[in-house]
Amino acid sequence: MTVLTIGRAPGIELQLLDLGATVHRLLVTGGDGVRRNIVLGHPTPEEYLASTAYLGGTIGRYANRIAAGRFELDGDPVTVGTHDRGNHLHGGPDGFDRRTWTIARHDEMLVEMTLTSPAGDQGFPGEVRASVTFTVRDDAVDVVMTATTSAPTVVNMTNHAYFNLAGEGSGVVDDHELTVAAQEYTPVDDTGIPLGAHAPVDGTPFDLRSPARLGAVVRASHPQIEAAAGIDHNFVLGGEGMRSVAQLECAATATRLDLATDQPGLQVYTANSLDGRHRSTSGVLLRQGDGVALEPQLFPDSPNHPEWPSAVLRPGQTYRSHLRWTVSPTR
């Protein structure tokens, strides 16, 4: 496992792994003047491979879930790997987050990594050539993911960083406040598969259009929250193109994270399945609610929903997804 570092103090320093093109550590200076790592990770490659939490990984070929691992593409049935309650999740049992990526470029402020996924990988058609570029600019990190294919396929990539603005190892993020610019979310069944149409956030714990304390949201009395033991849902983002879609704020450290993306959806995941079986980078056992993942992407199960933005990628086209994390003080 190779560790790559870009950026410099007192600005952002980003540590990346070629295993999974993973965000391993993200060091920032908080509004309180203290320097800390604000993402969750594992201390060894063995623990990354043993974990099912996807900490910081680059996710592909298909982020989120595909119902029963089945869909049709140009009228032909496709079956892909399943390992999450009978569904496909985050690229299958051996997704992009478990591969060793090739380091294509590395300088003081930029890392580009590439990966070739052969035709039939995890059941997906077409050879896909993927790349991810991480660039540090002062108070921001840009992550750009691209892919091309030799045959029609589906692609939906994201990064699965878990944030804790009080610092990795500091405990739960209950006192963080989260804002998401979404008027609708996607209700799901007990296995995380969309029930059908999106639903308004009005009058629900999913109304995050104003800052909401995460501890209150994940303990709200709502069947969707109760079934998932927190939030593990897609939010339908307003606007188009690259725009700011979410803010996470920690009053204790006077630190704010702004997320911008060009994607239509944002999967918010409140670390509901962390259960103390695996260590974080500082050696503490990771438990439920120790971070929150904000994953820009297409909607879950999109290959089975032609009415939603399409995940289909064809030869001659280039898939592209761009996200940006900006860290700033609140005082």
Q: What is d(CA 207, CA 229) in angstroms, rounded to the nearest whole number? A: 17
What's phi and psi for 125, nearest 5 deg? Answer: -75, 160
The answer to whether 43 and 35 are in contact (CB under 8 A) is no
Q: List residues bridging with 200 in a β-sheet.
A: 184
Q: List residues bridging with 147 in a β-sheet.
A: 130, 319
Under the phi-then-psi rule, with left for phi > 0, alpha for psi from -120 to 50, and beta for the rest, what region is 253? alpha
What is 42-96 written as a DSSP string? -SSHHHHHH-SS-TTPEE-SB-SEEGGGEEEETTEEEE----BTTBEETTSTT-G
Q: What is d(CA 72, CA 75) in angstroms, rounded to the nearest whole number? A: 6
The answer to whether 330 and 161 are in contact (CB under 8 A) is no
- The tokens 């610092």 sit on which residue? 167
CB-based contacts of 31, cutoff 8 Å, min separation 6: 253, 254, 255, 256, 328, 329, 330, 331
The answer to whether 295 and 158 are in contact (CB under 8 A) is yes
What's phi and psi for 323, nearest 5 deg? Answer: -130, 155
Q: What is d(CA 257, CA 275) in angstroms, rounded to the nearest whole number? A: 26
Active site members: 160, 295
